[in-house]
Chains A and B, each alone.
Chain A
Amino acid sequence: AQSVTQLGSHVSVSEGALVLLRCNYSSSVPPYLFWYVQYPNQGLQLLLKYTSAATLVKGINGFEAEFKKSETSFHLTKPSAHMSDAAEYFCAVSEEGGATNKLIFGTGTLLAVQP
């Protein structure tokens, strides 16, 4: 069975500092991986996705993620945090097999940005 694990339920950074949110995956086949962001009282918005085309994936709002097969990781980064980045971030993997494209989500990381 596929799964993702997000290390750190809460991350706090200063405005302008590097953002690093960690995600490790478990999959017996090449995975399709996603990062979503959720602002308070909102749905989920796709930041970026990995579909095996390139290991470094660039997304919206200056975020990017690197797929590392040897480390089974797909960490999310942003060089300089902005106050508007404060939100909850979810890593997800698309389930392999079956008749759906359902997403399996991690437990989320709440990002706080300090002024």
Chain B
Amino acid sequence: DAGVTQSPTHLIKTRGQHVTLRCSPISGHKSVSWYQQVLGQGPQFIFQYYEKEERGRGNFPDRFSARQFPNYSSELNVNALLLGDSALYLCASSKSLSRGNTEAFFGQGTRLTVV
């Protein structure tokens, strides 16, 4: 079975531009979460979607938005890019919202560089 797939793998953008990152969860998984991992730090939670509804949002500005489609794939959008948005963006999928009984599977990430 295919794991969590993210595209693109690498991206270079200029300050002020907009970017869209994409994620396809594991087949049968209804939840997608997005995390930002700045170099040298642990991943930070951005959003979680379940059954196409936003279930949680981390401490990120409104420039960050996301959505989940009927096939459970997801997009993360970032507007007005800043240098500080340079990071590895990770997508994780899980079967449900259960805290302990469901494992989060991570994709390989999208490396975004803002210049």
B94 lies within 8 A of A101 (CB):
yes
Q: In the complex, what's the smallest C-beta–C-beta distance from B56 to chain A, in angstroms?
A: 3
A105 lies within 8 A of B43 (CB):
yes
Q: How far apart sit A32 and B105, CA to CA, in the bound complex (Å)?
A: 16
A43-B109, A52-B100, A94-B99 in contact; A102/B33 too (CB < 8 A)? Answer: yes
A43-B90, A90-B43, A108-B41 in contact; A101/B102 too (CB < 8 A)? Answer: yes
| Interface residues on chain B, size class | 20 to 34
How many A-B residue pairs have C-beta atoms within 8 angstroms? Tell me.
73
Residues of A within 8 A of B98 (CB): 101
Partner of B58, one of A43, A49, A102, A107: A102
A103 lies within 8 A of B104 (CB):
yes
Partner of A46, one of B45, B97, B100, B103: B103
Q: How many residues of A contact B (CB 8 A)?
A: 27
Q: List 9 A-B contacts (CB under 8 A).
A: A41-B108, A41-B111, A42-B109, A51-B100, A94-B99, A100-B48, A100-B56, A105-B44, A107-B42
B residues near A, CB below 8 A? Answer: 4, 31, 33, 35, 40-45, 48, 55-56, 58, 90, 92, 94, 96-109, 111
A residues near B, CB below 8 A? Answer: 32, 36, 41-46, 49, 51-52, 90, 92, 94-96, 98-108
- Supply 9 further A-B pairs (C-beta < 8 A) apart from A43-B4, A101-B99: A41-B111, A42-B108, A43-B90, A43-B106, A46-B104, A100-B56, A101-B97, A102-B58, A103-B92
